[in-house]
Amino acid sequence: MSGSALQLVRPAGGGLRRHVALLAKYLPEEGFSPIIVGPAMLFEKDEIPEEVARYEVPFQAGWGPRDLKTAASLIGLSRKIRPAVLHMHGYRSLWIGALAARRLKPAVMVATIHTLLPGSPGRAKRGVLRWALRQYDRIIAVSDAVRQDCLRLGAHPERIVLIYNGVELRGGRSESGIPLLPESRVGEIILCAARLSPEKGVGVLLRSLPLMEKGYLWIAGEGRERAGLEREVREMGIGNRVSFLGFRPDVADLMSAADIVVCPSLMDGCPLAVWEAMAAGKAVVASAVGGIPEMIDHEHTGLLVEADDPRALADGLNRMISDREFRESVGRRGQEWVLKERTARKMAAETALLYRQHLAAIRGR
């Protein structure tokens, strides 16, 4: 083994947690022993491999002085296990790691930025993030859109590395957990697997449904927007065409059962669900926003549509529904490309190479 690689993860679900779980699975093949550190909720869904070491540290709601307690826990844990690499995931973990940075050396300091920064940060927050970004040996951006975001915040250009997310094709579809479909269902099954928060654009998707003659929608995910979205479904009278499935550990099975996967995001860095759907051989319709245009070759491996536009989204979905030959050919091409170019094993190998390069530089000083 080249050493241990501590992964600090903020309270997270969805793609970020699956990303870390896949890193934890494949880093040992590259000579690094992963150690996952985060709040208790991170370990509730059994996505992290059982054999991977894990430690709980406190994460309080919201940024602020209480993050010093998490930073102190990180320092204490690092002194105990002495990892070769400290790898932070997301802006919140980046900030906490930066608070502890001086006491964490000589470990290699890496951070992965998974998302675009929402809105326009004020001068104070921009200054804090600029300082935090500059405490790291390397910043990994999961898309060029995220890389550009980091540059705007003031990260050193030479320290930013682009490593795209990776996925794996899960074997063996299970039928046992597939939701029952109403006998009145008309048309293909459309799956949206996303956190129910404003930036994911699920409300736009709901407003596109009445513009489509066919299509039954599965929404897999939880979040603070759920009650409002369910109310919107009732008000539009489309309850017979929508099922809210909540958090699902079997998203791969849902993708296998679905005909089309949709990603209606209003902003997104590199949503893992897009490549997971392509790995499953499914046609994808997604918003042309953030890092998503880097993920889909329009008309070849999926369809890109204008963000925040129910009509444009409905048109893309209608095309996939009405033209089965096109839908299936898009799914085949997407699957072939993703399973060659965007595997979790490749992501872990590129991450481990970055670790080794900086460990060699430190040891050569």
Lowest mean pLDDT among 81-90, 183-192, 194-203: 183-192
Residue 281 tokens, joined:
């051989």
pLDDT at 268: 95
Residue 285 tokens, joined:
């319709």
> Can you tell me the mean pLDDT for 244-273?
92
pLDDT above 50 for 172: no
pLDDT at 237: 95
> Can you tell me the mean pLDDT for 198-221?
95
**Does residue 148 or residue 123 have the better pLDDT?**
148
Residues 6+ apart with CB under 8 A from 173: 252, 253, 256, 257
pLDDT at 363: 67
The reported pTM is 0.91
pLDDT above 70 for 164: yes
Residue 146 tokens, joined:
């995220």
**Does residue 274 or residue 178 have the better pLDDT?**
274
- Cβ atoms of residues 218 and 243 within 8 Å: yes
pLDDT above 70 for 14: yes
Q: Domains (ranges, CATH) in the chain?
A: 3-166+343-363 (3.40.50.2000), 189-341 (3.40.50.2000)
Percentage with pLDDT > 90 across the chain: 73
pLDDT at 185: 57
Percentage with pLDDT > 70 across the chain: 93
SS3 at position 227: helix
| pLDDT tens-digit map of 75-130 | 999 999 999 999 999 999 999 999 998 888 778 999 999 999 877 777 878 888 99
pLDDT at 344: 96
Highest-scoring range by mean pLDDT, 4-13, 181-190, 274-283: 274-283
Residues 6+ apart with CB under 8 A from 117: 91, 129, 149, 153
DSSP E strands, the chain: 3-9, 32-38, 53-56, 85-89, 108-113, 138-141, 160-162, 189-193, 216-220, 242-246, 260-263, 283-287, 303-305
Mean pLDDT of the chain: 90
| Residue 107 per-residue DSSP state | S
Residue 109 tokens, joined:
């300091």
> Can you tell me the mean pLDDT for 29-45?
89
**Does residue 172 or residue 301 have the better pLDDT?**
301
Residues 6+ apart with CB under 8 A from 121: 129, 153
pLDDT at 153: 93
Residue 276 tokens, joined:
């997971």
DSSP-based helix, strand, coil % in the chain, nearest 5 = 45, 20, 35
